[in-house]
Structure 1
Amino acid sequence: MTAVKAVEVIEAIEARTPAHRDRAVDGLRALALLAVPLGHWMLGGFTVDADDGGLHNASPLSAFGVFAPVSWVLQMLGVFFLVGGYASALSYRRRTGSTADWLRGRAARLGRPVLGVTAVWAAALPVLRHGLGVPQDTLRTATTLVVQPLWFVGVYTVVTALTPYCLRAARRLGVWAAAPLLGTVAVVDALRYGPYAEAVPSWLGAVNILPGWLFAYQLGAVWAVGRLGRRQAWWLLAGGAALFAALLLVCGYPASMVGVPGEARTNSHPPSLLVVALAAAQSGAAILLHGRLDGLLRRRPALWAPVVVVNLSAMTILCWHQTAMLAAAVPAAGWSGAVPGLTTAPDTLAWIAARVAWLPLFAVLLAVIGRYARRWEAPWTGAGPVRRAAAALLAAGFAVWAFG
């Protein structure tokens, strides 16, 4: 894109943006979204099997635990759920149809891109395996990475369905509506990691999935009804940071916000109390920065334009960013074997430097893929029942392969 064309695009986006648009919320959402691929690209690596050349997942955090604080910055799902709750609450209040119609629309917007990426991968798997000879282990690794971000969509869909109840609780209780969610996660963690942990069934941790992620979403709904101001935001920031520090320094929680291969405990799947503490601190900081961020994006159209583009491609970025990384790593493993920063073990500082150098290529590949994949975000007005059934069948086949 030429400089003149870029200026024209920026001016067009600025002209089409309504004056009442809350740019800060969109900016926060874009920031949280971009942290997902950056986190996966930097905190996830590969090793190559010496026998068949298959790719296996690895993490630099296994060798460099000192870099765990990086995951505190890149794990911004608390901010994403906060602005999601805020935007959903406003959208629900402004709806013109029934609650069921509103929920169907939201579910369709979330589900179409997931159906798209899983259908495409289902069609690609036999071609990669039998046509191109890609090792079975590589395909299993690829499947794991493709599925990895999609759990979020299922959780977010359930949380979105609770929007009417979140709004009701927000009006009645204000910021205290989120307290029972935090308490639930705390109780479950106490049972899982306390003195009687051996007697606790392994499935109990799954109880934290809903309250753990609903916490920030509920705060967003409270923010939307005007009952979460700067005073409460300061308390969230300070209280969340204090709890976070106590859990790390006193209670022995793992420092990484993402799973580390070989570690017995993880904070993210299911979310632990450390995740909720970080979400509280992030939510408080986001609300405190809201005004300044909104002003900045209004004064700088060149910053606002990419925020709009990222928000319009949100689900495409979420669903396809791992495919972009695999599009570079799989051919490299087949042609060259060990490529520094791409398919070599992530256990040296040189790997980190090399991986940073690969990030622009991953971004370009994601942009190229997104140019075609974004059609899955739009309503399927031109897709007949046969095409929809075929996509659903392929997606089901991918699910069988992934979890079978």
Structure 2
Amino acid sequence: MYSPPAPSIKHFGSLRTAVLWAGILGVVQACIWIGLTITAICAYSCVLYITDSLTYGSMVKAVFFYVYFKGGCSMSPNDFQQFDYTLLNSVETVFDTNQLLIWNCVYLGVSVCWLIVSIVLLACVRKDNTKSTLVSIYTWAFFMAAICCMDVASGVIFGVDYGRFNEKALTENANTLNAGPVNPMAATLIAGAVSAISMMIISFKGFVMWLVNLGLLVYLLVRATRIATDKDGADTLYNPRKDSNDILTTRPPIRAYEEEKVEIQAYNNAAYSNAAYVPDNRSMAETIEVNEDAIIRAAHMSMDSNLMDRRFRDLNAFKQYPAPNPQASRPLRQTAQTPVQETIVVATAGFPVPDYSPAPSPNGILRHPQY
């Protein structure tokens, strides 16, 4: 029996490429965001140095720190320049500094998990281990989905803050020709709008990376679903079942050493193969099993077959019958009124019938028939 062809895993190359991109980008982005969240936590605790003088060049940095990251601590004038917060405090942001600190701590924990599952994804996706592949993909997808949802939420929050700062800045006068005095501290509102739009862009990871992460998430989830629902084993591990045109995979196994028995009806089809055959007595024969190969092999092995007519070497020759006598005066044999049940028994053991004919004499002359 031939052994079945070795199974091959389809589309593993494309899955491995997607895993490499997802794992490498996940490790890099997770490291960057871990650094950013730790920096935000340190800024809330007044550990980081901001600026010691307030100018139009340092206003955006000072406002950015004051609106989103400065906690309840007090910094010395040498580290942080004090200025008028009246206009900034008139704009209410969605997150205050305390709530933003909690958000940063949660994002830090998720980023650490993102880093770990990205490394696991690179190490555990293997074509010979379906279970570890599914576990690593599903775990990575869970934290990647959490990151994408938090990015969308924070982006929307900072977008609302940008709209509020911009709306407040439109109410201030920046032209001496218009009625009303010009307030120089109104520039802090513009700095607040710039800080809010910057936080929104950072939250969406520049928008491009967010779309890349979402695309990798969807692709790997689709592949993982197909792996989980695959019922065909390793040959279609990373691709859904398809109808194969390969005959080697669809044909039944070959049994070269298994004997097959042929069932025929004795003499029932003789009339169709030989028009001259006229049965003497109509009878119904039972279905029998004939091993034709054994009969032919026995005929060829017979020592006296060379003296017989060549028609005995073929099994089909036994079905040839002489033409009936055209004489009308030939008496016909009386047939029975009712059909007689007849059973024909043929050897089917697969071995030829023993040959008891005498062996030839040493001088090549056949013995007398009496022997």
**Normalised-by-shorter TM-score class:** under 0.3
Q: Which has the larger radius of gyration?
A: 2
TM-score (norm 1): 0.20
User: Which structure: greater helix fraction?
Assistant: 1
Q: Which has the higher contact order (CA 8 A, sep 6+)?
A: 1
